[in-house]
Structure 1
Amino acid sequence: MTLFKKRTLAAAISSLVMLPLAQACTSVIVGKDASASGALMISRNEDFSTNNWAKRMHVYPRKSYKAGDVITLSNGLKVPAPETSWRYTAMNDWDAYQNSNDGKVFEERGVNEFNLAMSATNSAEMNEKAQKVDPLVDQGIIEQNMTGLILSQAKSAREAVQLLGDYVTRYGAGEANGVQFADTKEAWYMEIGSGHHWIAVKVPDDKYAVIANGLRIHDVDLGDTQNIMHSKGLLEFTRKHKLLSKPDSRNFNFAQAFGKLGDLYNTDREWMGQNLLSASVKQKIRQDQYPLFLKPDQKISVTDIAKVLRSDYQGTQLKGKGKRPIGVDRTSEAHIIEMYPNMPGELAAVIWQTPSNINYSPFIPVYNVMSHVPKVYTQGKDHYDNSSAWWTFRSLGTLASPNVMEGKYKKVVDGVIDSAEHYLVKTHAYTRDMLKHMYKDNQDMAIQYASNYSNGLLQTAYDRAQFLQSELMTDLTRSTEKKYSPEEFDKIKKL
């Protein structure tokens, strides 16, 4: 094959599989009284259309704009710039600067300086009837730009819901999806169901929700303004276009009106998550809808959420039947964000972040006070790069796959990742208590310590992953050598 043909083939493959599409994510949201740590929690697997799409951690500082300034988003939508853009963190696509004039594409999650956390999005499908009467807008609000747009302006979860809703009302939505918000007081789950209609529900303090990709909000009272927010005229619009046979404002089914119920690709995962967290609640598999909120059998920890986000159907009724597991090989990153009501404001937000795929990376806790992250977490593209944390951890997954040495290294990789994560979870409470006491004596010292601690954990995790990768590659290389007889080997040594 000529060099030209090789390049042509490579280009053809890239055009088919390297499209920046976030797909099929799974989330768990937890109220503070359902949480083992007392923190509100939002979390999500970011599943992608390919398994070699690097993510980069980023910290955006505060930024001022002049009157009349406009921000042009990656899809061409122009929106007025705020007077001040708040500091926030994000998890960007590697190609953000190629696809967006402000370098903000698929930021996925983050926390801003006012302790507003956001995770966006769980993509969803509209039903044909809703699509016909309120179609999506080509140049509307979409996942690619949503996180930075909201975190740079809102100061609370409730305000964030209203701000995103106002954007959808004004500019229209380009996608149907679900979005999570949390501050130190409350968590909200929001769904955009059509070009201009949306709804959001406050997560009960003593319950949790599992979200796959279908629209999920149902059985809500539209008149309960303390716990429900929605687009103007939602009930009237639903009645006018007969999106529900008998719309009931006190028992409204947004998911049925705008979404597609009973898609096994989604409901299998919803059942799985609820089965893990509330096993005592016996539910039939493959129902069209499951309860939006449930009480857990025991208070939910970071480890419990991680188990859900990595789960498959082994040992359940869906073994061999499940349309797809929750933890998949094309999960590009996963995050669990804890918002602590009882911590000093600067130390209230902890982001448990996997550097890469959830099955081959530990959740690493970082405090939302860092001004920067280690350089290796800001590097990596769609080709292997040994100076990238994302690729280093992702390569461990490749080495652990059944295609390499018949899965010989899987047990080793799993053991190292499990051990590292167990240590981080076990020690986190002690570190948190220490920081809380330190803050009382010296606020600046506590904040600086939290920043250094977070960066240290990230760097140490990378260094250990590099060492493990080196050991496995050394063993793999050695294994490719021919097995010589003692006589042959003795001769080789003397040559």
Structure 2
Amino acid sequence: MACTTILVGKLASYDGSTIVARNEDSPGGQFEPKRMQVVMPSDQPRTYVSSESHLTVELPEEPMRYTSVPDALPGHGVWAAAGFNECNVGMSATETITSNDRVLGADPLVVYTPPQGVAGDASYAPEVPGGLGEEDFVTLVLPYIHSAREGVERLGALLERYGTYEMNGIAFSDLDEIWWMETIGGHHWIAKRVPDDAYVTMPNQLGIDWFDLADAEGEQLEHMASDDLRVWMEENHLDLTMRDADYYMSGDLEYAIDDECDGACDDDADDGVDIIEIDLDRAQDIFNPRDAFGSHSDSDHVYNTPRAWYMQRCLNPRDEWEGPMATWGPESDDIPWARVPERKVTIEDVKYVLSAHYQGTPYDPYGRKGDDASRGLYRPIGINRNGQLAVLQLRPYADRAYRAIQWMAFGSNPFNALVPLYANVDEMPEYLSNTTDRVTTDSFYWTNRIVAALADARFRDNAAHIERYQQKVGGMGHAFLRKTDAVARDLGPDEAPAYLARANAELVSAVRLETEDLLAKVLYTTSCAMKNAFAMSDN
């Protein structure tokens, strides 16, 4: 799947929440319908069989309830995508990421092999199951974990046992921490804690740009990894770090190697870059995973790096992003994985960057700058094949019974709006959960798809309708949370889920009216511009 992710640490967010957000995009030429679902413990399988890889996994006996955003059409797996469990642990899976030939040769992906020949014949070879993948991760992990860190541990153990057939990035969140995990080859993985005061941008590319092996092998304060990572890297010559140089860069941290310096110390960081002095022995533990395990291909410069460039351009606008003085351009391979934003990041900021199509640059397909070649040069974040956007917010000021908010949008993000939903419920509103293959305005997913297709055809004419709708629905969402929180404070833990489910339904009913009104306006505007229009009236 082609996706885009942003992670926001609790000190970087507007209200102290941890925020995990990801677009789930269908592959080129496909549009995978999505829906909302709450999976109750009684509905969670005890024996799981992967559709993609035909792998069978036995699961624990006591799963928790959890929300998910599965594929609406049956037959090719769950693809649960994102959700919260009843312990207020969030998970988003996955961001498909890149690798390189060295990694794939050192630890090949575990790919399904179909049966060969006819059963009973001497030449017959039975099927060989593959490993785990995006289809499986949320279902196998989220119902069983009690913290973000525990999510990394459980998925890491599954990867080491069963392997994977693809490279993926996975986010886990709880009230205090966000962890980002990246798979490496068939069985290896790394994970890094998102700094509390930073945000992380992730296009479809291996992203972590510096890693501390000593921490991963010791206290695991900020880093975790598969147990044999150091030995495996050494055996396969994967570490590309230039440690014999006076200086080397690793993301937004510049390491000065000094054999007389015993620890790490921050220099004056007026330019936003920390200078850290480390001794030569300590330097052996620090490496750049993006260089070791990732890719810097020509296609990355068209498909991936421009998205990170634009997201950071929005959240750190005072930096030089264009022209000869730019630190990073849209095709830079060293755009930082994590940045401290210039101001605290809001839900609206998250929605904006995950809907972006390079507004204000020559690369905007709807813009007036540039020319036909530049406007189609880079892959937008808000693309026609966005299926769903889930923003997982854990609010520290709210009681655990109503702390977890799963903001949802469906369809192409430039044309939709986020709707906040309380996750501590037993069911989701039908308008969000009833998606099938039938195209109908009774479904929030399909209504958004129709709006987007009509509005795209006359983008400038419809832009005002879309902006007013997005702001109105956004305001309704924040007002809804304030009002519902005030009532939920006085409810007992047994009363809260039913009340929150009713509140979700009431908000969604109001959003449905606004969405249908938007559809009517967009339909009228685009109909007036049809090519078979004629000025002379019959009247």
**TM score, norm. by length of structure 1:** 0.85
Q: CA deviation at 1:386?
A: 3.0
- Secondary structure at 1:135's aligned position in 2? coil
Equivalent residues of 2:81, 2:92 under 8 A apart: yes
- Secondary structure at 1:327's aligned position in 2? coil
Per the alignment, residue 237 of structure 1 pairs with 232
CA distance in 1, matches of 2:491, 2:456: 49
Per the alignment, residue 197 of structure 1 pairs with 188
2:165 to 174, 185, 196: 174
The residue correspondences of 1:246-265 to structure 2 (distance < 5 A) are 246=241, 249-261=284-296, 263-264=300-301, 265=303
**Is structure 2 residue 295 aligned with structure 1 residue 268?**
no
Q: CA deviation at 1:459?
A: 2.3
What letter corresponds to residue 36 of structure 2 in structure 1?
Answer: M
Q: 1:455 to 1:236 in 2, by over 3 A?
A: same
Per the alignment, residue 57 of structure 1 pairs with 36
Per the alignment, residue 95 of structure 2 pairs with 122
CA distance in 2, matches of 1:359, 1:376: 21
Equivalent residues of 1:40, 1:182 under 8 A apart: yes
CA distance in 1, matches of 2:535, 2:222: 73
Unaligned residue ranges in structure 2 (runs of 5+): 112-129, 244-282, 321-326, 365-373
Q: Deviations over 1:192-247 (max 9, x none)?
A: 02101100001111111001111011222122211111011111111111112458
CA distance in 1, matches of 2:528, 2:381: 35
**Is structure 2 residue 7 aligned with structure 1 residue 29?**
yes
CA distance in 1, matches of 2:227, 2:9: 27
The residue correspondences of 1:90-489 to structure 2 (distance < 5 A) are 90-95=68-73, 97-100=74-77, 105-138=78-111, 139-224=130-215, 225-246=220-241, 249-261=284-296, 263-264=300-301, 265-282=303-320, 283-285=327-329, 286-316=331-361, 320=374, 323-382=378-437, 384-402=439-457, 406-407=458-459, 410-424=462-476, 426-427=478-479, 430-431=482-483, 434-435=486-487, 438-440=488-490, 442-470=492-520, 472-473=522-523, 489=539
Q: 1:45 to 1:220 in 2, by over 3 A?
A: same
Q: CA deviation at 1:261?
A: 2.7
Equivalent residues of 1:27, 1:44 under 8 A apart: yes
CA distance in 2, matches of 1:461, 1:55: 18
Q: 1:64 to 1:409 in 2, by over 3 A?
A: closer
- Secondary structure at 1:189's aligned position in 2? strand
CA distance in 2, matches of 1:368, 1:58: 10
Greater Cα offset, 221-230 or 237-246: 237-246
Equivalent residues of 1:261, 1:289 under 8 A apart: no
**TM score, norm. by length of structure 2:** 0.78
Equivalent residues of 2:193, 2:223 under 8 A apart: yes
Q: 1:233 to 1:365 in 2, by over 3 A?
A: same
What letter corresponds to residue 434 of structure 2 in structure 1?
Answer: Q
More helix by percentage: 1
CA distance in 1, matches of 2:478, 2:49: 44
Q: CA deviation at 1:312?
A: 2.3
Count residues with an aligned counterpart: 454
CA distance in 2, matches of 1:475, 1:292: 42
What letter corresponds to residue 376 of structure 1 in structure 2?
Answer: Y
Q: CA deviation at 1:454?
A: 1.5
Equivalent residues of 2:356, 2:414 under 8 A apart: no
Per the alignment, residue 41 of structure 1 pairs with 19
Q: CA deviation at 1:446?
A: 4.8
Equivalent residues of 2:35, 2:433 under 8 A apart: yes
Q: Deviations over 1:156-200 (max 9, x none)?
A: 110010110101100011110111110112110010021011000
The residue correspondences of 1:64-79 to structure 2 (distance < 5 A) are 70-75=47-52, 76-79=54-57
What letter corresponds to residue 231 of structure 1 in structure 2?
Answer: S
CA distance in 1, matches of 2:448, 2:288: 42
Equivalent residues of 2:419, 2:474 under 8 A apart: no
CA distance in 2, matches of 1:318, 1:484: 35
- Secondary structure at 1:232's aligned position in 2? coil
What letter corresponds to residue 232 of structure 1 in structure 2?
Answer: D
Q: CA deviation at 1:385?
A: 2.5
Equivalent residues of 2:10, 2:18 under 8 A apart: yes
Q: 1:90 to 1:439 in 2, by over 3 A?
A: same
Q: CA deviation at 1:478?
A: 7.9
Equivalent residues of 1:221, 1:250 under 8 A apart: yes
What letter corresponds to residue 34 of structure 1 in structure 2?
Answer: A
- Secondary structure at 1:83's aligned position in 2? coil
